[in-house]
Amino acid sequence: MSCFEGQLAGWMSPALARSVDTSPIVSQTTSQTITGLVAEYSTALYRVAFSVTRNAAEAEDAVQEAFLRVLKHESRLAEIRDYRVWLVRIVWNIVLDKKRRAKTRPENEDLADHARGLASCDRPADDAFISSQEESRILALIDCLPRREREALLLSAVQELTTAEIAATLGTTESSIRSRIFRARRELSVLLEKEGITR
């Protein structure tokens, strides 16, 4: 934990101490727990959010909102067995809600992310640009997949999540997740062939 985080945790603790039914020691522990969760999971949660939003600002907003919900339900922190799955589920619900509300997916594409990707590539700029466009097209085709297959495939892209964690997030079994991912990739291959992207 950095000095800044420690300071913030200390700053939050008196406020937590005045909260509903917790003693100061428990509140301080809760505050430190939340700070630890932020330090440990914020990047993974950002990727989960980004897999749906494809927009850096919206993904970050979703992560912040998720931690606000954690703060709101801080009294339940002690009951949570797997923080990672719990947080991923919160973020997942938030981004799906947002996506449902704003049904215009293409407008959300973030040009800054394109630029970031281009700068980090070792390939020539033209190739990198074509490749980036292709990847965007493939991600758009992923959105055309059936909901279950799409969700499993997107979460499988987040390397921090195991199949068991994806299954827990989506409320199903690991074997179901594996078959969903397999079906999603197969259907996506067919779509790519139709689009002529595989040549």
In 3D, which of 158, 137, 146 has the Cα closest to residue 184? 146
Token code pair at residue 95:
């981004």
Token code pair at residue 63:
């992560």
Token code pair at residue 188:
């996506």
Token code pair at residue 184:
């999603």
DSSP state of 159: T
Asked if 104 interacts with other proteins (CB under 8 A), we say no
Q: With beta carbons less than 8 A apart as the criterion, state whether 50 and 90 touch.
A: no
Asked if 59 interacts with other proteins (CB under 8 A), we say yes
77 or 192, CB closer to other proteins? Answer: 192
Q: Which of residues 125-144 bind other proteins (CB under 8 A)?
A: 131, 134-135, 138-139, 142
Asked if 193 interacts with other proteins (CB under 8 A), we say yes
Task: Select the residue interacting with other proteins from 30, 32, 58, 67 (CB under 8 A).
Answer: 67
Q: Counting Cβ atoms within 10 Å, is residue 23 exposed (0-12), middle (13-18) or buried (19+)?
A: exposed
Q: What is the DSSP string of 64-85?
A: HHHHHHHHHTGGGGGG-S-HHH
The residues, any chain, with a CB within 8 Å of residue 11's CB and separated by 6 or more, are none
Give the binding range for other proteins (CB under 8 A) out of 11-19, 78-86, 92-100, 172-180: 11-19
Asked if 117 interacts with other proteins (CB under 8 A), we say yes
Least CB distance from residue 117 to other proteins, whole Å? Answer: 7
Asked if 92 interacts with other proteins (CB under 8 A), we say no
Asked if 147 interacts with other proteins (CB under 8 A), we say no
Residue 168, amino acid: A
Asked if 162 interacts with other proteins (CB under 8 A), we say no
Asked if 109 interacts with other proteins (CB under 8 A), we say no
- Cα–Cα distance for residue pair 2/100, rounded to 1 Å: 37
Sites of contact with other proteins (CB under 8 A): 4-5, 8-9, 11-12, 15-16, 18, 20, 34-35, 38-39, 42-43, 46-47, 50-51, 56, 59-60, 63-64, 67-68, 71, 113, 117, 131, 134-135, 138-139, 142, 153-154, 156-159, 185, 188-189, 192-193, 197-199
